[in-house]
Amino acid sequence: MSEKVILVDQNDKEIGVEDKLKAHLGKGILHRAFACFVFNKNGELLIQKRSKEKMLWPLYWDNSCSSHPRQEESIEGSTKRRLKEELGVTCEVKNLFKFSYRSKYRNLGSEYEVCHVPVGRYDGDITLIPEEVAEWKWISLGKLEREIQENPEIFTPWFKIGFKELIKNNKAGIQNESSSR
């Protein structure tokens, strides 16, 4: 059985489902997604490098976890499921905001999403699944801001959009050490 994504309109109202691959071909079909940010007790962000097996943006640095909810599944529920499946992480998450974007990847396909941004906290072990994640690391927000500024091409488009919005409005209630200097 092929994996499906939830098709939505610009207001994030569900209008149907589509095969995940088909929704990402060409210019893409607007669908629901999430890009989760998980912080530790030190205020560092867990980021992951996408597996080389990914069709779009392989080996790019990404959020703690990004994916698509299944039908009848909440953003929080799908985020918790995928955190466990990709990184072995179990934590509570809270959906803070959403944004829409479209981004083309070479001649292979596009992301066209209403992207929800859940945030959580975790301080345990990480057990990555190699088919999903090539590597991971905890990073301070100041260092991450510098890396994005110096090397924006190594990060996924949705990660850069979500991170900028999260920091700009301090939506997660986090302390950004670069803004305190």
107's CB contacts (< 8 A; 6+ apart) are none
Q: How confident is the model at residue 167 (pLDDT cuts 50, 70, 90)?
A: confident
Burial tier of 78 (Cβ tally within 10 Å: 0-12, 13-18, 19+) = buried
Polymer length in residues for the chain: 181
pLDDT in tens, 86-120: 999 999 999 999 999 999 999 999 999 999 999 99
Helix (H) or strand (E) holding 87: helix 75-87
Residue 151: is its pLDDT beyond 50?
yes
CA 119 to CA 157: how far, in whole Å?
Answer: 18
Domains identified in the chain and CATH numbers: 4-172 (3.90.79.10)
Q: Tell me the pTM.
A: 0.92
Residue 14: is its pLDDT beyond 70?
yes
The pLDDT of 30-39, averaged and rounded, is: 98
10's CB contacts (< 8 A; 6+ apart) are 30, 100, 114
CA 3 to CA 14: how far, in whole Å?
Answer: 17
pLDDT in tens, 121-134: 999 999 999 999 99
What value does the mean pLDDT of the chain take?
Answer: 93
